[in-house]
Homo-oligomer: A and B are copies of this chain.
Amino acid sequence: MLSLNVWTTKRWSLPEAVAGCARFGIGGIGLWRDKVADVGLDVAVTLIKDSGLEVTSLCRGGFFASPDAATDNRRAVDEAAALSARTLVLVAGGLPPGSKDLAAARENVLYGIAELAPYAAERGVKVSIEPLHPMFCADRAVVSTLGQALDICDQLGAPNVGVCVDTYHIWWDPRVYDQIARAGDRIQIFQVCDFLMPIPADALLGRGHVGDGVADIPGLARAVAATGYDGPVEVEIFNQEVWDAPGDETLRTLTGRHAEHLARILP
């Protein structure tokens, strides 16, 4: 099932994104908490329920170095529960201000997830650790590889803790195929997005439609499918040009690229 992550059509409100999915026959929607907050949680819950869309992810909890991380992450879990989200995506957060102690920051992530996992389990919420590309290690996520995310899963041994596999972040990793196989049924959500070259001035925005960059997304999708994953393919693109394009144009490209590159692998 194809899913639209709402940040792909950044200018659209949540109701506009929901309507867009209906127009293009997209069955899933990946939510961000800010877009949910814009309309209010209750309105969002009703809107999604009425639409019949599956909430394929809620982005995001994490940022474990923040002073209010514990409180905010519990709120994120509550929202994920209310929205019946398939998973709450956890972005680990970077180094604390001024710190260079990466090992301590990583240990803190482990503790943070260990604390959050039972709270989430009690509410029927799965959480997925998302490794981010190493260029975001200092400021966004000290979890940098799929192997590292799975090591955390192994250490916790909590059945509701898994991983988010996003092609943009992991395509370069020499161990990625081994680690996707190792992940097995712990892949809670598969996000697709291409890695554009050159990296733009704002490194966050170098994400492109499937096929526009350098990542072998069909190859990664085949590896994900080989684990038995038959869940959504969620398209999450941060890119100023994509954001400037009319939403319908973006959805046309997105559905077209899915049909061309991925539909035979993950229908």
**Chain A residues within 8 Å of B, Cβ to Cβ:** 95, 100-102, 106, 133-135, 137-139, 144-145, 147-148, 151, 171-175, 195, 197-201, 203, 214-216, 219
Interface secondary structure of A, over-half rule: loop
Contact A216 B100 (CB under 8 A): yes
Give the 8 A-B CB pairs with smallest separation, nearest first.
A137-B172, A201-B201, A138-B214, A100-B216, A148-B174, A134-B172, A135-B135, A199-B203
Q: List 27 A-B contacts (CB under 8 A).
A: A95-B214, A100-B214, A100-B215, A100-B216, A102-B171, A102-B216, A106-B174, A133-B134, A133-B135, A134-B134, A134-B172, A134-B173, A135-B199, A135-B203, A137-B214, A138-B172, A138-B195, A138-B197, A139-B198, A144-B172, A145-B173, A147-B175, A198-B203, A199-B203, A200-B201, A201-B201, A203-B203
Residues of chain B within 8 A of A214, CB atoms compared: 95, 100, 137-138
Contact partner of A102 among B95, B151, B172, B200, CB < 8 A? B172
A172 to B151, alpha carbons, bound, how many Å?
A: 16
How distant is A138 from chain B, measured CB to nearest CB, in Å?
A: 4
How distant is A156 from chain B, measured CB to nearest CB, in Å?
A: 16
Known: A101-B216, A134-B173. 10 other contacts (CB 8 A): A100-B214, A100-B219, A102-B216, A135-B135, A137-B172, A144-B174, A145-B173, A145-B174, A147-B175, A201-B201
A180 to B5, alpha carbons, bound, how many Å?
A: 39
A133 to B135, alpha carbons, bound, how many Å?
A: 8
Residues of chain B within 8 A of A216, CB atoms compared: 100-102
A195 to B219, alpha carbons, bound, how many Å?
A: 31
Residues of chain B within 8 A of A201, CB atoms compared: 200-201
Residues of chain B within 8 A of A199, CB atoms compared: 135, 199, 203
A102 to B198, alpha carbons, bound, how many Å?
A: 17
Closest to A216 in B: B100
A219 to B145, alpha carbons, bound, how many Å?
A: 21
Q: Which of A172, A173, A219 has most chain B Cβ within 10 Å?
A: A172
With known contacts A100-B216, A102-B216, A135–B134 Cβ distance under 8 A: yes
